[in-house]
Amino acid sequence: MPLGQNYDRQDCALARALEIVGERWTLLVLRDCFFGVRRFADLRAHLDIPRAVLSDRLATLVDAGLLARRNYAPGRDEYVLTDTGLDLWPAVYSLARFGDRHLVGPGGGRRRFRHADCPEGGAELAAGAVCPACGTLPAPSSLETYLLVPAADTDRPVRDDAVSVALRRPHRLLAPLP
Amino acid sequence: MPLGQNYDRQDCALARALEIVGERWTLLVLRDCFFGVRRFADLRAHLDIPRAVLSDRLATLVDAGLLARRNYAPGRDEYVLTDTGLDLWPAVYSLARFGDRHLVGPGGGRRRFRHADCPEGGAELAAGAVCPACGTLPAPSSLETYLLVPAADTDRPVRDDAVSVALRRPHRLLAPLP
DNA sequence: CAGGTTCGGTTCGTTGATTGAACCGAACTG
DNA sequence: CAGTTCGGTTCAATCAACGAACCGAACCTG
């Protein structure tokens, strides 16, 4: 079964989650949604993903209730995280944190998250997406993300799509991008 | 899903993580490792995964340093999580929690995790894999997992491979299984 | 020691998902 | 009214997953 995607035989919550979120590209799409990307064309340009695949993944996510599709102008749609979708934040953060700490080489860009609305002044998120200053698990909307090292100083080719450019400066999660 | 493997163009920790852990079956293999499954044959029987794919995924994980392969008897190998692999626990837990809360239907089996070694008496893990009693993020080895509802009372076909049977009763994470 | 079983694989033909290019219609822009 | 943007769909080629068959080493079992 090519990740067409069912892990039928597994009676396991993780298998259920992976049937939705375990397809290729899906978690990267969701990460972009957490950043605030909302339009098809922006996702496409930022992720370099084939249109057909993006179209399919968005439909799956809307179907599963993680994203809502809204027609904000005639012929223009946007995709926004639902409450269910927002609940995926600790998983997305934990995976990204794992990648950052164990897989990104010295020349890679390092992105961090701060609890901007923290009553204790805020701090960089710790394991489990917990704010070490106030001890809570902040909602994505109260977080700010920023790059530890300027994009130009990394080894990777500098991307110049609108989303990549906008994300070079600090940004509040979920705030519309670009 | 041929979850193919590189997300070359993405300069992003999440993309790096997904290159290792985002392939089909990989997270389910790791979940089994957290449960304490160590042998090729047990993984194969529990996951119903083609041998070639399991072989490939284990090699990738060993290569990436998340699993260590140990020859515990002539001709017998076991795969154990490394410290790097153990660091993936919050991600695995968060995804499973998401599936449990949003995707598992009423007839599905619900698995929970308790902080068994908690100085405050222990409680069911909360979002972010945090123990609500002591406020820490417990190591997998100090957790116990159990089913909220007996396996026989769920809608799904009852599996009878050794791992599934062993997991019907409460079990300490990482303790060898079956 | 012959025969069977377990373990941890590899090989291979088939099935099916991903890819990238081409095409499309609706709506707005100049 | 010509051109562009947006959000797709269609299609052929490619590449990964599937599952059945095969394999060698080690270990019973009689």
Q: Which amino acid is at A105?
A: G
- Residue A5: the pLDDT is 57
CA-to-CA dists, residue B75 to A157, B20, B33, B116, angstroms: 46, 27, 20, 35
- pLDDT single digits (tens) B114-141: 999 999 988 999 999 999 999 999 999 9
For A73, residues 6+ apart whose C-beta sits below 8 A from its C-beta are none
Rounded to whole angstroms, the Cα distance separating B139 from B148 reads 22
Which residues interact with strand D by a CB < 7 Å criterion? A 1-3, 39-42, 51-52, 55-56, 58, 69, 75-78; B 1-5, 23-25, 48-53, 56, 73-75
Rounded to whole angstroms, the Cα distance separating B23 from B19 reads 7
Looking at residues B143-158, what average pLDDT do you find? 84
Q: Is B68 touching A (CB cutoff 8 A)?
A: no
> Who among B7, B24, B90 is closest to A94 (CB)?
B90
**Domain for residue A70, yes or no?**
yes
Does one domain contain both B75 and B114? Answer: no
Does one domain contain both A62 and A80? Answer: yes
Confidence label for B9 from pLDDT (cuts 50, 70 and 90)? low
Does one domain contain both B71 and B140? Answer: no
Looking at residues B10-30, what average pLDDT do you find? 92
Which tokens is A96 given? 């990204």
**Domain for residue B4, yes or no?**
no
In the DSSP assignment, the letter for residue B99 is I
Q: Which of B25, B54, B85 is at the close of a domain? A: B85
Spatial distance from the CA of B135 to the C1' of D14 (Å): 50
Contact across the interface for A9 and B159, Cβ inside 8 Å: yes
Q: Give the predicted TM-score (pTM) of the model.
A: 0.93
CA-to-CA dists, residue B26 to A21, A62, B17, B67, B174, angstroms: 13, 25, 12, 12, 17
Rounded to whole angstroms, the Cα distance separating B144 from B135 reads 17
Spatial distance from the CA of B39 to the C1' of C8 (Å): 9
Does one domain contain both A158 and A121? Answer: yes
Diameter over CA atoms, chain A: 49
Does one domain contain both A113 and A75? Answer: no
Contact B5, B19 (CB under 8 A): yes
Does one domain contain both B92 and B161? Answer: yes
- Residue A4: the pLDDT is 42
Confidence label for B2 from pLDDT (cuts 50, 70 and 90)? very low
Contact B131, B146 (CB under 8 A): no
For chain D, which bases have at least one atom within 7 A of a protein Cβ? 5-11, 15-21, 24-27
Chain B closest-CA separation from residue A154 CA (Å): 9
As for how many domains chain A has, the answer is: 2
- Residue numbers of chain A with a pLDDT score lower than 50: 1-4
What is the interface pTM, i.e. ipTM, of the complex? 0.92
Does one domain contain both A75 and A102? Answer: no
Residue B1 has pLDDT above 50, yes or no: no
Tell me the residues of chain B between 85 and 144 that have a Cβ less than 8 Å away from chain A.
87-88, 90-92, 94-104, 108-111, 127-130, 135, 137
- pLDDT single digits (tens) B80-113: 999 999 999 999 999 999 999 999 877 776 899 9
Percent of chain B at pLDDT > 70 equals 94
- pLDDT single digits (tens) B60-85: 999 999 999 999 888 889 999 999 99
Spatial distance from the CA of A76 to the C1' of D10 (Å): 22
Does one domain contain both B81 and B126? Answer: no
